[in-house]
């Protein structure tokens, strides 16, 4: 929620987050850096979904006159499918880099709480082994370990 509240364009303008569509907040204008937003045109008696950069939709408020064009949603979908197909065809080249990027992202997002959970889990597992060897009740410890794993 915090990340979504801080959505800004490349030029620093604040935008409202909407995750209603798969491409929301993923498409930026290459000229002015503004986000694209999905809207609909009514052409030949039919609603046609298109994507336009927000400054163009709100031209009166923004005062920006950018030359970027409207993107038809079916063209965007075709481009995404083409990119995925190329990725799959070249997976031997792509996957190692993707794994590396994911590991870096996970390492950077490693919060102090995760370290606390790991330390507490280790302590509880040692206590669990002691109680299991002594044939004492260890259900509470096992439940706490499961709760910590779920939180992590």
Q: What is residue 4's predicted lDDT score, i.e. its pLDDT? A: 60
In a domain, 71, yes or no: yes
Q: What is residue 77's predicted lDDT score, i.e. its pLDDT? A: 93
Q: What is residue 146's predicted lDDT score, i.e. its pLDDT? A: 79
pLDDT string in tens for the chain (152-residue length): 666 666 655 556 666 656 678 888 788 888 777 778 888 889 888 999 998 887 766 665 656 677 778 899 999 999 999 998 998 898 888 888 888 888 887 776 666 777 788 888 888 888 878 877 777 776 777 778 778 777 76
Whether the CB-CB separation of 5 and 21 falls below 8 Å is answered with no
Q: What is residue 97's predicted lDDT score, i.e. its pLDDT? A: 87
User: Could you tell me if 131 and 68 lie in one domain?
Assistant: no
Q: What is residue 50's predicted lDDT score, i.e. its pLDDT? A: 92
User: Could you tell me if 12 and 52 lie in one domain?
Assistant: yes
In a domain, 104, yes or no: no
User: Could you tell me if 85 and 46 lie in one domain?
Assistant: yes
User: Could you tell me if 25 and 62 lie in one domain?
Assistant: yes
In a domain, 97, yes or no: no
Residue 105 half-sphere exposure, CB side, CA atoms within 13 Å?
6
Q: What is residue 54's predicted lDDT score, i.e. its pLDDT? A: 74
Range of the domain at 136: 112-151
Going by C-alpha positions, the residue among 42, 1, 36, 7 that lies closest to residue 22 is 36
User: Could you tell me if 20 and 79 lie in one domain?
Assistant: yes
The domain total for the chain is 2
User: Could you tell me if 68 and 6 lie in one domain?
Assistant: yes
Q: What is residue 26's predicted lDDT score, i.e. its pLDDT? A: 80
Q: What is residue 109's predicted lDDT score, i.e. its pLDDT? A: 60
Name residue, tokens 């002691």. 130
Going by C-alpha positions, the residue among 46, 66, 45 that lies closest to residue 54 is 66
Give the count of beta carbons closer than 10 Å to the beta carbon of residue 119: 10
In a domain, 100, yes or no: no
Whether the CB-CB separation of 59 and 95 falls below 8 Å is answered with no
User: Could you tell me if 86 and 116 lie in one domain?
Assistant: no
User: Could you tell me if 6 and 53 lie in one domain?
Assistant: yes
User: Could you tell me if 85 and 24 lie in one domain?
Assistant: yes
Q: Which residues, 6+ apart, have CB-to-CB distance to 11 below 8 Å? A: 32, 33, 34
Q: What is residue 48's predicted lDDT score, i.e. its pLDDT? A: 92
């Amino acid at each position: 929620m915090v990340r979504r509240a801080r959505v800004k364009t490349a030029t620093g303008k604040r935008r409202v987050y909407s995750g209603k569509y798969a491409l929301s907040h993923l498409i930026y204008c290459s000229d002015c850096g503004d986000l694209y937003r999905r809207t609909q045109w009514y052409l030949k008696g039919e609603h046609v979904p298109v994507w336009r950069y927000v400054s163009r939709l709100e031209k009166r408020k923004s005062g920006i006159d950018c030359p970027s064009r409207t993107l038809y949603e079916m063209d965007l979908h075709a481009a995404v499918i083409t990119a995925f197909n190329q990725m799959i065809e070249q997976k031997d080249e792509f996957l190692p880099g993707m794994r590396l990027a994911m590991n870096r992202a996970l390492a950077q997002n490693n919060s102090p709480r995760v370290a606390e959970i790991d330390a507490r889990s280790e302590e509880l597992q040692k206590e669990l082994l002691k109680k299991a060897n002594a044939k004492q009740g260890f259900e509470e410890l096992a439940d706490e370990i499961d709760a910590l794993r779920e939180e992590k």
